[in-house]
Amino acid sequence: MSQKQVVLVTGGGRGIGRAIVRALASPERFLYIHYSTSEDSAKALSEELAQEGKPSRTIQADLSDSEAAKALISEIVEESGRLD
């Protein structure tokens, strides 16, 4: 059996990012829903997906800061082993 795809959607808490999360969400993928300031909407979306059997978790970073962006990727790879 193959491992789940590991996907990061930046700005996934609202707007177009939220729509992309919805389009990609499936039991075969693990989604990281990135947010900068929209914590409540990102967490609500992650909870909705969990109820549908679609795994995800939220992750915060200010992507205008290159060090924070690198740390975000490092955290995902450390936790999941990779980022597809």
Question: What CATH number has the domain bearing residue 45?
Answer: 3.40.50.720
Range of the domain at 29: 5-80
pLDDT digits (tens, 9 = 90+) for 25-68: 999 999 999 999 999 999 999 999 999 999 999 999 999 999 99
- pLDDT bin (cut points 50, 70, 90) of residue 3 is confident
| Distance, CA of 53 to CA of 51 (rounded, Å) | 6
Number of structural domains found in the chain: 1
Confidence at residue 45, expressed as pLDDT on a 0 to 100 scale: 98
Please name which of 63, 64, 47, 65 lies closest in space to residue 55, comparing C-alpha atoms: 47
pLDDT at residue 1 is higher than 60: no
